[in-house]
Amino acid sequence: MTLVNLNNMLKHAMDHGYAVGSFNMVDVNSLEAILRGAVQLRSPVIVSVAEIHFPYVDIEKLAFLMRTLTQDAPVPVALHLDHGQSLSAIMRAMQSGFTSVMFDGSQLPLQENILRTAEIVRFAHAAGVSVEAELGHVGGAEGQLENDEDDSLFTDPLEAGLFVRQTGVDALAVAIGSAHGVYKKQPQLDFARLERIKEQTNIPLVLHGGSGIPDEDIRQSIRRGICKINVYTELSQGANQAVHQALAAKPQLPYPEIKISAGRAIEKIVMEKIKNFGGGQGNLQDQ
């Protein structure tokens, strides 16, 4: 199966009550591990590259490799730009063959976010590429929101409805209490807010900061409209831990064996997440 459009994948998830995992790759080893995990479970998967990782990733080469690897893959795979903030990054991803891009205008004023997102939607859709946007502000690498008591950073449901109507975006990342990076304390997701956002938008919703959220909270968020969940921190931590353990057991471990240890850890976490997100063989029907 070749690369697919994210829009069709997420609509299937929305209609059938599960979420697709979006896993960030940073090299060929992590890419192959993500794909192995999805193929073993016969689950659709989103492989993402974040703009912040461009200094470490040659996206043109990896996109070419993705097309090669997915030709015979028995599962749908989307190649997605995560947190694209510059037009140059979005254009570079599209020209490389990405099937989906995210424009993150979450720190812009509402009207500017709407105008810039709508512009990107127009030319991306003309090229057959789906678009994810963000409204509200998901916390950063510190693992906390900038102010835990200030819900002004969260997505406003009425603004979300307006945003979706005026941009034509395919998926919306929402701020309901999750954060990127390592959580310093257990996150408290605002499920009532999520329900209101779903009522106002009726499109696939996205949860960023999926690493470290309790399994039951994940399942509740899916029941309330989340169709895509982003995971990176747990992959990075799992790979690092596996490498440390392998080297502690055998300090002179050859480099290829180190890569294998990291890849196996990533693959295991990918499979755990897919299962918790409701993925598996049944989700391949009609795709």
238 marked as part of a ligand binding site: no
240 marked as part of a ligand binding site: no
155 marked as part of a ligand binding site: no
210 marked as part of a ligand binding site: yes
104 marked as part of a ligand binding site: yes
134 marked as part of a ligand binding site: yes
The β-bridge relationship of strands 20-24 and 226-231 is parallel
DSSP codes joined into one string, the chain: --B--HHHHHHHHHHHT--EEEEE--SHHHHHHHHHHHHHTT--EEEEEEGGGGGG--HHHHHHHHHHHHTT-SS-EEEEEEEE-SHHHHHHHHHHT-SEEEE--TTS-HHHHHHHHHHHHHHHHHTT-EEEEEES--B-TBSS-S-TT-GGGSPPHHHHHHHHHHH--SEEEE-SS-BSB--SS-----HHHHHHHHHHH-S-EEE---TT--HHHHHHHHHTTEEEEEE-HHHHHHHHHHHHHHHHH-TT--HHHHHHHHHHHHHHHHHHHHHHTT-SGGGGTT-
230 marked as part of a ligand binding site: yes
180 marked as part of a ligand binding site: yes
* Annotation marks residue 217 as catalytic: no
231 marked as part of a ligand binding site: yes
225 marked as part of a ligand binding site: no
17 marked as part of a ligand binding site: no
Catalytic residue among 27, 82, 150, 170: 82
Q: Which residues are catalytic?
A: 82
Binding residues for dihydroxyacetone phosphate: 181, 209-211, 230-233
Binding residues for Zn(2+): 83, 104, 134, 180, 208
